[in-house]
Amino acid sequence: MGRLHEKASRPWGYYTVIEEGQGFIVKIIHVNKGQRLSLQSHNHRSEHWVVLSGVAKVVLDDKIFDLNVGQSVDIPLHAHHSLQNPYDNDLEILEIQMGDLLSEDDIIRYEDIYGRV
């Protein structure tokens, strides 16, 4: 534990852990305009995303779609996914991670514009 209210900077923006407990972590993820997270999957957690501000471009396996404020999506265990913000305004989402291992080490990257594959 110990991550509560920690702001973690990333090349695409930052995230803040706002709550955590047994088997879950809740984060606010801020994606700067024009940025994207890597195409990735997880072996130990699923995720639920809710758009708080901006528009999210979501890549989920073979689908690509936009989510507007108030809309949400479930990211199943092992799904290839990416959160992207190709738009002119910053994006914020609420992310709920659920699983038996909730660690930044549980990220398998397939594509990354920041060279982290």
d(CA 109, CA 45): 15
* Per-residue pLDDT reduced to its tens digit, 54-73: 999 999 999 999 999 999 99
d(CA 79, CA 26): 19
Residue ranges and CATH numbers for the domains of the chain are 7-111 (2.60.120.10)
d(CA 61, CA 81): 6
Cα distance between the two ends of the chain = 27
pLDDT at 1 over 50: no
> The pTM is what?
0.94
